[in-house]
Amino acid sequence: MEPVSAPTRLCVNACFDSGNIVCKSAADPNIVQLEIRPDPFCKHDNTSHFQWFHFRITGARNVPLTLKLVNAGKASFPVAWTGYKACASYDTETFFRVPTSWDPKAGVITIKHTPEQDATWFAYFTPYTLPRHQALIAATQLKPQVRLEAIGPSLDGRDVDLLHIGNAGPNRRQVWIVARQHPGEAMAEWFMEGLLECMTNEHNAFAVRLLQHAQFHVVPNMNPDGSYRGHLRTNASGANLNREWKTPTLERSPEVFHVMRRMDELGCDLFLDIHGDEEIAANFLAGSEGVPSYNEPMAALAKTFLRGFERATPDFQAKLGYEVDKPGEADMTIASNAVAERFKCLSFTLEMPFKDTQDCQDSVHGWNPERAKNFGASILAPIYECLPDLLKPREGASAASAANGTAKATKRQKR
C-alpha cells in the first residue's frame, strides 16, 4: 500500500469556539509569526486586554514548528510568560505542555513542537468550550435536588445559566459560587465541573450534610460571550465583569446585573468567585479584609475556611497570594468585596495557576483540567467546616439572607 503523501500547505486557523490568533506569516514552518487578538477596549482598565490564545495548525505532521507570538510583550501580564509552557493537543480532549521560551527584550514567546498528527491545537490553557458547558448543564440538571434557571441573556443573547442545588426553606444558608467572569480563565469552569459532580453525588457525605442545611447557587460561566469570542478578561462590550459589581447595567454588564438581582432575592451567606492567575504558581484565596464591615468574627470564620482548605488538599496553600487590602481600602467594584459588604458575609476570590503549582508539579501537563476538577471537589470540605458558624445568626446580615435562613502576600494586587 502506497504511503499517503503529507499536505504541503501549512494552515493556521482560529475561527471556532474560544479561538484567538492572527496569522502574520506561515510560509516557513521555522518562523510562523502570530499575534494574539486583543479584547475590545476596556474603559475601566483603559486598555485592550490579551493573553489568551487558541488555534489549530494543519499540514505539519512530522514538521518541526517554531511558532512566534510576536506581540506577547504587550500582553496584559507579560511577566507571566516567564516559566510558562503552552498547551497542545491532537484530539482537543487531552492537552500536554510543549517547549516554550520567553524573550523579554524582543517581547516574543516562542513555541516549538513537531506534530505527530495532521492537526494540532495550541492554547494558553486547556479550553472549556460552550458545547462542553451545555453538556455540563444538561447532565447536572438531571440530578436530584437540582433546578436550572436561565436568569437573563448576555449581550450576544446567550443564556446565563444558574443552577440551584438543594431545597429552599427556612433557616437554610445560601451559598453562591460563580466562575469565569474573566473568560480566558478556563480552569475556573473545569473547577466548577468537579464541584458540581461532587455536589450532586448522593453518596458524597460532604454534599449530603451540606444540603441538609444550605442551598447552593452555581453559575459555571458568568461570561459566555467572552468565552466564545476568545477574550481574556472582558465581555462583548469590553467590560471587565469583575469590576462591575458596584453599579452593573443591562447595557454594559447584564451578566453581573442578573446575578446580583437573584442574590438580592435569595440572599447570600457565603460567596466564592473562581478565577485563574497568570503569574503566581499556586492555588490561593483572596479575602475581603478591606471592606468597611470586616470584623473579628468574620476574620475568625475566614481562618476556619483557610485551615479547612489546607487540610482538604495539598493543592491549596496560604503562603503565596495577593497583597491584603488595608481596612477600608477595598476596591468595591470587585465581586468578592461587593458581595461581602452587601450581605455581611464570608466572601473569597479563589485563584488557580495557568502554569503549575510550585509545590506539586506535573512536568507533562502542568496545572490541568483533572487537577482543577479534583480541586473543585475538595472545596466542599472547608465549606463544611464553616457550617456551624454559618448557621449562627449574624449581626448585620442582609434581610434576604436572614429570611433564607492571613496569608504571606506578594506585591500583586487583586485582579
Bigger pLDDT: 87 vs 42: 87
310 a catalytic residue: no
Out of 35, 278, 351, 385, which one is annotated catalytic?
Answer: 351
Residues 53 and 159 in one domain: no
Q: Are residues 41 and 101 in the same domain?
A: yes
Average pLDDT in the 164-191 region? 95
Domain that holds residue 369: 130-403
| HSE of 283, CA atoms in CB hemisphere, 13 A | 27
**Quick check: is 414 in a domain?**
no
Task: Let me know whether 177 and 317 are in one domain.
Answer: yes
Q: Are residues 321 and 387 in the same domain?
A: yes
The CA–CA distances, whole Å, from 21 to 83, 124, 229, 341 equal: 21, 11, 11, 40
- Which helix (H) or strand (E) segment holds residue 57: the answer is strand 54-58
pLDDT confidence of 411, banded at 50, 70, 90?
A: very low
The answer to whether residues 26 and 117 belong to one domain is yes
> Do 204 and 275 fall into the same domain?
yes
- 100-155 pLDDT, tens digit per residue, is 999 999 999 999 999 999 999 999 999 999 999 999 999 999 999 999 999 999 99
Task: Write down the pLDDT at residue 408.
Answer: 40
Same-domain status, 114 and 59: yes
C-alpha cell at 274: 473562581
**Of the residues 123, 155, 176, the one at which a domain ends:** 123
Cβ-contact 176, 349 below 8 angstroms: no
Any domain includes 159: yes
92 lies in a domain?
yes
Of all residues in the chain, what percent carry a pLDDT higher than 90?
87
Look at 361 and 411; give whichever has higher pLDDT: 361
Domain boundary among 96, 123, 150: 123
pLDDT tens for each residue of 212-250: 999 999 999 999 999 999 999 999 999 999 999 999 999
Order of strands, sheet of 270-277, starting from the edge strand that comes earlier in the sequence: 146-153, 159-165, 214-219, 173-179, 270-277, 346-353, 284-286
Q: Which residues pair with 110 in a beta bridge?
A: 68, 101
Same domain, 169 and 101: no
Q: What number of CA atoms fall less than 13 Å from residue 186's CA on the CB side?
A: 28
Residue 78 and residue 168 in one domain: no
Question: Of the candidates 123, 142, 175, which is a domain's last residue?
Answer: 123
Spell out the residues 6+ positions from residue 212 whose beta carbon is closer than 8 angstroms to its own: none
Residue 1 lies in a domain: no
Query: Is 83 contained in some domain?
Result: yes
CATH number at residue 342: 3.40.630.10
At 36, which CATH number? 2.60.40.3120
Number of structural domains the chain divides into: 2
pLDDT, position 7: 54
Q: pTM of the prediction?
A: 0.94
pLDDT of residue 41 exceeding 50: yes
Which pLDDT score is estimated for 402? 44
